[in-house]
Amino acid sequence: MEFLDKIVLHQSAHHMELIKYLLILTHFLFIGYTGLLLGSVLISYFFKKRYDKTKDEKYYLNIKKFIDLATFNKGASFTFAIIPILSAMFGYSQLLHLSNINFAFYFIWSALFLFIALIFIYSFKYSIHLRDIFSLTEKSNVQLDNLKSEIEHYKSSTNLLYDKSGLYGLLILLVSVYFYSIASQLAVNLNNWNPNRSFITELFSINSLTYFLLFINISFIITSIIVLYKYFRNNSTEKFETEEVKDYLKNFSLKLLLSFSAILPLIIILNVFSKPVLSFSFDYFGGTVLFILLILFVISFTYLMIKENHLKFITTILLLFSISLFVFVNNEQSSFDTSTKSHFAFLSNEYDVYEKNLKESAGLIKVAINGADIYNGKCIACHQFDKKVVGPPYNTVIPKYEGKKDQLVKFILNPVKKNPDYPSMPNQGLKPNEAEAVADFLLSNYKKN
């Protein structure tokens, strides 16, 4: 992705730190929102299958309860899902500049797939709500004939949407999340720092696969927490058709939360093992332990709520899980930092050189001037200390300048005719500070010879 290399800004180590913090926030937003989206689409698709098979109304009501969770506003979906992917891509292009890793390819495809998936998912959502409207108009016995045929027409296309869009949206969303998993894990493994690595090897890397599994697991947890919080917290205004539907949804979500948070520690450990040793650090292990501990709290609170048949702790769980998600994202960033340490040293060195050149060209720092270098570069062709070349040997002409450096500098800057036995010396075009440095060099070296 050459265009990304072109827009990279030169950055100091401090700027890179800042970008890392922004990346943590970006991943947190992305996993939080897209996790909810994925979880809610997966579960509502599951209920759709059940409803299609059994025609049991309570399943149908649950399709709506879930699909509405993350699709409350198209602008929000765009802001929380697509923008984070693009900003992660720009963030990594700064941090992984000159690294040969093709992460941008996966981010761009992830964003594209996500965009298409959102279109299908919103179509699925609207198809369900339209079906409701059509069945209402049927019940209310609309008499107008041409309106009837119009409705008939839209009803069949709505049914087609209802049938297909959920599945397509779900599959494309999964592909998008998988590409995101590859992109965000790519730099952690140094084996990937090879531009010739094939797409297929990348697709099946253990590292990205476990991260993907982890993502799905987290999606179920986020979704069940949000369902419980949105529909069942103390001051929730949600209306349910019947008590049975309400109880069903409550028990279903609690069990979902308990089972997926119970497997999470296992997948976390799997995730640790799938990472290269090079990405490990003390911080990383500390973060992993903290994350697992927080999840154990979530599990215990959920278990208590199931056992005592209430939902008192749901706000606590929401808070606990948000913190754990933050710990997790921060920890992933820490493994990224450890693996890419040497690359950062390289980049910040790059920056130091860049900064020095910039300051030099702006005249902010003096270039270190070395008299010996100037002698070797500009004078040696005509002068030696002990031999006559084109000009006189320094050992014979410099002694008269002892204690008169000013005059020597003056001569070097503007040579005048001195000795009839020699031709005149051509002006060497030195700057005053260069003439001074070479004069110092001559004065301190002729004695030794």
Subset of 403-432 contacting ligand HEC (CB under 6 A): 411-412, 417-419, 422-426, 428, 430
Asked if residues 422 and 392 have their Cβ atoms less than 8 Å apart, the reply is yes
Choose which of 397, 409, 437, 443 interacts with ligand HEC (CB under 6 A): 397
Residue 438, interface with ligand HEC (CB under 6 A)?
yes
Distance (Å, rounded) from C-alpha 321 to C-alpha 324?
5
Burial class (CB in 10 A: 0-12, 13-18, 19+), 382: middle
Subset of 153-172 contacting ligand HEC (CB under 6 A): none
Subset of 238-257 contacting ligand HEC (CB under 6 A): none
Residue 372, interface with ligand HEC (CB under 6 A)?
no
Residue 378, interface with ligand HEC (CB under 6 A)?
yes
- Report the residue number, 193 or 411, with the smaller CB distance to ligand HEC: 411
- Report the residue number, 155 or 405, with the smaller CB distance to ligand HEC: 405
Choose which of 20, 97, 250, 383 interacts with ligand HEC (CB under 6 A): 383
Asked if residues 214 and 268 have their Cβ atoms less than 8 Å apart, the reply is yes
- Return the biggest CA–CA distance within the chain: 124
* Smallest separation (angstroms) from ligand HEC to the CB of 394: 7
Subset of 35-54 contacting ligand HEC (CB under 6 A): none
- Report the residue number, 283 or 440, with the smaller CB distance to ligand HEC: 440
Please list, in sequence order, all residues whose beta carbon lies within 8 angstroms of the beta carbon of residue 347, skipping any fewer than 6 positions away.
11, 16, 95, 97, 98
Choose which of 390, 399, 444, 447 interacts with ligand HEC (CB under 6 A): 390
Cα distance between the two ends of the chain: 60
Distance (Å, rounded) from C-alpha 329 to C-alpha 187?
15
Stretch that binds ligand HEC, among 28-36, 73-81, 315-323, 378-386 (CB under 6 A): 378-386
Residue 382, interface with ligand HEC (CB under 6 A)?
yes
Give residue 268's identity as a one-letter amino acid code. I
Distance (Å, rounded) from C-alpha 123 to C-alpha 104?
29
Residue 392, interface with ligand HEC (CB under 6 A)?
yes
Asked if residues 106 and 6 have their Cβ atoms less than 8 Å apart, the reply is no
Burial class (CB in 10 A: 0-12, 13-18, 19+), 125: buried
Residues that bind ligand HEC (CB under 6 A): 378-379, 381-383, 390-392, 397, 411-412, 417-419, 422-426, 428, 430, 438
